[in-house]
Structure 1
């Protein structure tokens, strides 16, 4: 897609995923060697966390963006500009930590708002992290895991919406 694209951050976000996978592999190996079901269960939980967060390791691949047809998000599709009512940058406080979220409010139901529907994914990617969630008619995208500042993403999306919607 041509336009403005954003990928996952390349630096500090990968480290915890690698560490948890390494711990899971070590615990699994020890659990199998000494035949301990508790260690194997903990290892499976750790490896499941790594599997869920595997997309964070695939840096450089566009996960969200905007272009002439609308806003796109991996695993969602392209939401047309005419279906977008409002784009807001929301600051969310979670346990003393401040996180930024992009809220895209839709005028139409999601099925009608999508120009291209990418919600059907291969089976092996079904349990992996997506860069968005939806509640009602609002698509929520947490921005702190991306390689661009939240303000820049918001400005680019609103600038493109203003240009292409009218």
Structure 2
């Protein structure tokens, strides 16, 4: 092929703007809690049957509940955080309108030698009013761990606090990608 036979669309510009993204939990964070809880719970149930001690079966409920609570950390099918032109996505909330976001701020803390990072999303109104596309999820997920919490401010707005250290992406990159969407 000569230079004149090349693709006629090669001169067109690539679309500009931020690219959509979605990230999930860093699976290695949830493995010990889920599999450890299942192992200890199963061990206690088996010991209860072998020793004929029903009390051990009741005690097994605690580690099994811990495994159930942390199970979302293993679920790779559902992203925990994402963004596109429609808005900012948070699992079990849905899409938050970009116009409803006042400020995005990264907070870092340390517990001993463990670095923790969270994203504080200050909204211009309440969270219920800021959601443009609510996510539908099974009822049983209401009693499982979620990666966010809300805080009501004195002016009636909400601040969404999302733990980023549990996710499979660098917190600074997540913040940079979100700011590019917000500034468009």
Class of the TM-score when normalised by the shorter of the 2 chains: 0.7 to 0.9
Report how many aligned residue pairs link the two structures. Answer: 161
Under a length normalisation based on structure 2, what TM-score does the superposition of the two structures give?
0.79
What is the DSSP-based 3-state SS (H/G/I as helix, E as strand, rest coil) of the residue aligned with 2:147?
A: coil
Give the aligned partner of residue 126 of structure 1: 142
Distance, in Å, in 1 between the alignment partners of 2:62 and 2:131 is 35
Under a length normalisation based on structure 1, what TM-score does the superposition of the two structures give?
0.87
Shift in Å at residue 77 of structure 1?
1.1
Structure 2 unmatched runs, 5+ = 1-18, 153-157
Shift in Å at residue 37 of structure 1?
4.2
**1:146 equivalenced with 2:158 (yes/no):** no
**1:162 equivalenced with 2:178 (yes/no):** no
Asked if the contact 1:5/1:64 (under 8 Å) is kept, the reply is yes
Distance, in Å, in 2 between the alignment partners of 1:144 and 1:38 is 38
Asked if the contact 1:24/1:47 (under 8 Å) is kept, the reply is yes
Root mean square deviation of aligned Cα:
1.9
Runs of 4+ in 1 over 4 A off after TM superposition: none
Distance, in Å, in 1 between the alignment partners of 2:30 and 2:138 is 25
Structure 1 unmatched runs, 5+ = none
Q: Report which structure shows greater RCO (CA 8 Å, sep ≥6).
A: 1
What is the DSSP-based 3-state SS (H/G/I as helix, E as strand, rest coil) of the residue aligned with 1:91?
A: strand
Q: Which has the larger radius of gyration?
A: 2
Describe the superposition over 1:117-161 as per-residue Cα deviations: whole angstroms up to 9, x where unpaired. Answer: 22x632222211112111111111101111111111111111111
